[in-house]
Structure 1
Amino acid sequence: MPQALADVRLDGGVRAVLAPPPEPQPVRIRMHTASTVLYSIAGFLFLCSLLSLLKSTDNLDNYPPAYQVGRRVGVFLLPAILAAVGYVVHVTTRERRTWEAGQDLPERQALWQRHMRVWQAGLLCRRCWVAFFPAGSTRPDAPASPPIPLAQFPSWVMAGAGPATGPATVPGRAQG
């Protein structure tokens, strides 16, 4: 197939069907719902605290300085605690999810490499516009494949590189 794709005369649709299997991409790690909720509540409470502090008409001059500071800063204590807890939840779940996502990466890479070997073994008949696998191209004991319509070629590549590719599971053959 790599030689067939090098032909500049191929149609774009044929190129898309005969394209190599996509390489496994890193798993996108989403933010934990609990941290999102905690951040939202902390932001809402922070804005409420800020508005209440700005609208406050209390005269605090007669109170001790510690009380004045506590009255002005204390309203931001709960939003700060919620934001800190949200951050801890975010960091711990992100580390765990990143570790879990990385656990199957070697298996996905190995499967992709098997897909690539099968894809590279495929050939294109430009006269008939079908693909096929010659005898022994995917495994030493593999028979030649029948002509494969181009639309079905990607599924043959995926099936031919699966974990169980014994003689009874050759794509297009009945088992038994």
Structure 2
Amino acid sequence: MSATCPQCSASDQSVAVPHALAPTAEPPLDEPTRALLAPPPPPQPGRHRSVVAITFYSLSGVFAVFGLLSVTKSFREDLEGAETAELIAYFVGTLIVPGFLLAVGLIAHVVSRRRHERRFVENYGLLHTHWQRHQHVWQAAWFCRRCRVAFFPDAVLRPDFPASPPIRLEQFPLWVVTAADRAHGFPNAPVAPS
């Protein structure tokens, strides 16, 4: 099967996007083009940041710095003649608050990360369904080697789905998402810019 490019009106250089990215495709695509035409990534949990944990880590660092500065200043002035037990008690007392804050930060981080992972697992079914729709649309896309544009032929996604205009490669990932929303029952989805 071949599809006619909406920009040059020829089909001799048009190829389905999955075939254009195949390792055996001739001529091979350059890396920037391959990256722009890459399939949609599967759902991932994403980066996790706990503001509470970061706050406690920061406070722990601040208290540790001030505690160590206090110890070095006091060591020169007051503690030169102190016994070993007094020195140990002074150092331990200086590090208790930063250690406590660090422990609270670690606990907050673990609790927040587990909550984040649990939320991802609970929503995985919906995320996977959206990813499958994006994958279906991506597989239906075509690429014109001559014009270096992507496009969707007429009725490739549904019988009533119109052909797309030429799509610049930088906008191709957004078109895949938008076309998936429109083709799979989200009629009010925004139209991707051309």
Q: Which residue does the alignment assign to 1:28?
A: 47
Instruction: Count the aligned residue pairs.
Output: 164
Residue 122 to residue 15, structure 1, CA distance change in 2 (3 Å)? same
Larger radius of gyration: 1
Asked if residue 47 in structure 1 is aligned to residue 65 in structure 2, the reply is no
Residue 168 to residue 54, structure 1, CA distance change in 2 (3 Å)? closer
Does the 8 Å contact 2:21/2:29 carry over to 1?
no
**What TM-score do the two structures reach when normalised by structure 1?**
0.68
Does the 8 Å contact 2:64/2:98 carry over to 1?
no
Cα deviation for residue 5 of structure 1 reads 1.6
Instruction: Choose the corresponding residue for 2:161, options 138, 143, 165.
Output: 143
Give the residue type in structure 1 aligned to 2:138: W
Separation in 2 of the partners of 1:91 and 1:10? 50
Give the residue type in structure 2 aligned to 1:148: P
Q: Secondary structure at the match of 1:43?
A: helix
Q: Name the structure, 1 or 2, with higher relative contact order (CA <8 Å, separation 6+).
A: 2
Separation in 2 of the partners of 1:168 and 1:148? 21
Instruction: Choose the corresponding residue for 2:119, options 103, 106, 109.
Output: 103
- The runs of 5 or more residues in structure 1 that have no matched partner are 61-67
**What TM-score do the two structures reach when normalised by structure 2?**
0.63
- Identity, in percent, stands at 29
Separation in 2 of the partners of 1:90 and 1:170? 41
Does the 8 Å contact 1:114/1:161 carry over to 2?
yes
Give the residue type in structure 2 aligned to 1:90: L
Cα deviation for residue 170 of structure 1 reads 7.9
Give the residue type in structure 1 aligned to 2:115: W
Instruction: Choose the corresponding residue for 1:88, options 101, 104, 129.
Output: 104
- The runs of 5 or more residues in structure 2 that have no matched partner are 1-16
Q: Which residue does the alignment assign to 1:132?
A: 151
